[in-house]
Amino acid sequence: MPDVSHGEDEVERTVIEALRAAVAFSIVILIVESVGAYLSRSLSLSVDAAHNIPDVIAFALSYAALRGAEQGTSDAYTFGRHRGEVFAGLANAALVLATGLAFAYEALATFARGGTFAGAVDPRWLLLGVVPTLALRATSLILLRRIPGRVRDLNFRSVGAHVSSDLLIAGAILIVGAVLFLSPSLVGVDPVVALGIAAVLVIESAPLFRDSWEVLTERTPRHLSVDAVSRTALGVPGVRELHDVHIWAVCPTLICMTAHVRIDEMSVGRSMDVVEKLRVAVERDHGILHAVFQVESRSDAS
C-alpha cells in the first residue's frame, strides 16, 4: 500500500525537539526538587517533586506517540498511528489525577495532625529547590510555545497544561519559601499551598479526560458543526445537497469526514473538479484534512 500523507507532516522537527527538551528539563527538575524537598521537609515542594514523576512519564509518552505518528501509514495501520497521541493524552490525565488525589489526602492529614509534614520547614532549602525549577519550567514553556498552533493537538494541550500550571505552582512555592523565611511561625502556609497544588492537578485532569474520551467515541469535534460544514459545501458551485455527513477525529490534528453529495448533471471530469473544490473548501474553512465525498447526480434522487 503506498504511503499517503494525511496529517503526518504536522509532526514537525520543532515539535520533537521541544518535547525532548521538556523530558530533559523534567528529569533535572525532579532531581533538584527531590533534594530540596528532602532537606527542607516542605509538603508543597514534596507534592511538586512527586508531580514531576508523572510529568516525565507523560512527556515521554507524548514523545513516543509523536514518533509513532511519524512512521506514516501501512497496511496494518491505514490511518497511521495517530491514536497513540490520544492514549498518551489520556495517560497524562490519569497520572495528574492520581498525583493530585494522593497529595490532597496527605495535605488534609497534615491539617488533621495539627502539625507539619515531616518537621519544621527549612525555607532556605525550599528556595534553593524551587528557584532553578522556576527557571527551567519557564524555558520549557517558551520552547513549547514555539510549536506552530496548527500542531498543538490534544497531546500537546496536555503537555502545555502541564508546563503552564507547573510554572504557576513553582511561583506559589516560591511565595511559601519567602513567607517562611520572613515569618517562620506561619507553618500552616506550606500544607495550605500543598492542598491548593493538589486541587489544581485534579481540576487540570478533567478536560484532558473529556477531550480524550470524545476522540475515542468519535464525537464531532467541539469546534466544528455539521451545519457549518454543510453550508461551506453548499457554497461550492454545482453542489445541490449534502447528506449522510460524518465528522470525527482520528486524533485532534487529523479530522476526517465522509458525506454523500448531490451535484448538477455534468461530465465525470467536471464532477471530480467539484469534489476537489469541496476538499479544499472544508480543509481551508474547517481544518478537515481527510474528506471523502460520494457523488450522486440529481437524477439519482428520482
Provide the pLDDT for residue 62.
66
Quick check: helix, strand or coil at residue 246? strand
Nearest 5 degrees, angle CA 127-CA 130-CA 131?
80
At 108-141, the pLDDT tens digits run 888 777 666 666 889 999 999 999 999 988 887 7
Residue-by-residue DSSP string for 258-295: EEEEEE-S--HHHHHHHHHHHHHHHHHHH-EEEEEEEE
User: Residue 251's pLDDT is what?
Assistant: 77
pLDDT digits (tens, 9 = 90+) for 222-252: 888 999 999 999 999 999 999 999 999 887 7
pLDDT for the residue 8? 41
How far is it, in rounded angstroms, from Cα 266 to Cα 252? Answer: 36
C-alpha distance from residue 24 to each of 77, 170, 248 (Å): 31, 18, 34
Nearest to 97 by CA among 203, 6, 224, 13: 203
The two counts, helices (H) then strands (E), for the chain are 8, 3
Res 109: pLDDT: 85
| Per-residue pLDDT at 292 | 93
Residue 191, exposed/middle/buried by CB under 10 A (0-12, 13-18, 19+)? buried
What pLDDT, on a 0 to 100 scale, did the predictor assign at position 233? 93
With beta carbons less than 8 A apart as the criterion, state whether 175 and 78 touch. no
pLDDT of residue 20: 77
- pLDDT, residue 1, reads 40
Q: Cα dist. 56→27, 59, 131 in Å? A: 6, 5, 19
Q: Is 171 helix (H, G, I), strand (E, B) or coil?
A: helix
Q: Which three cell numbers stand for residue 144?
A: 513549547
C-alpha angle 76/81/216, rounded to 5°? Answer: 105
Residue type, 27: I
Name which of 27, 299, 79, 47 is nearest 170 in CA terms.
Answer: 47
What pLDDT is attached to residue 115?
A: 66
What the block records as the C-alpha cell of 89 is: 493524552
Which domains does the chain show, CATH number per domain? Answer: 8-216 (1.20.1510.10), 226-301 (3.30.70.1350)
Instruction: Kindly give the confidence (pLDDT) of every residue in the chain, 302 residues in length, as a single tens digit, with 9 standing for 90 and above.
Output: 444 444 444 445 666 677 777 778 888 988 999 999 999 988 889 888 887 887 777 677 666 666 666 666 677 777 767 777 788 778 878 888 888 898 898 888 887 776 666 668 899 999 999 999 999 888 877 776 666 554 445 455 556 666 777 888 889 999 999 999 999 888 888 888 999 989 988 888 888 888 888 888 889 988 889 999 999 999 999 999 999 999 998 877 688 999 999 998 888 889 999 999 999 999 999 989 889 999 987 655 55
Q: Is the dihedral of CA 109, 114, 117, 123 positive or negative?
A: positive
- Per-residue model confidence (pLDDT) at position 301: 53
Cβ neighbours, 10 Å, residue 116:
16
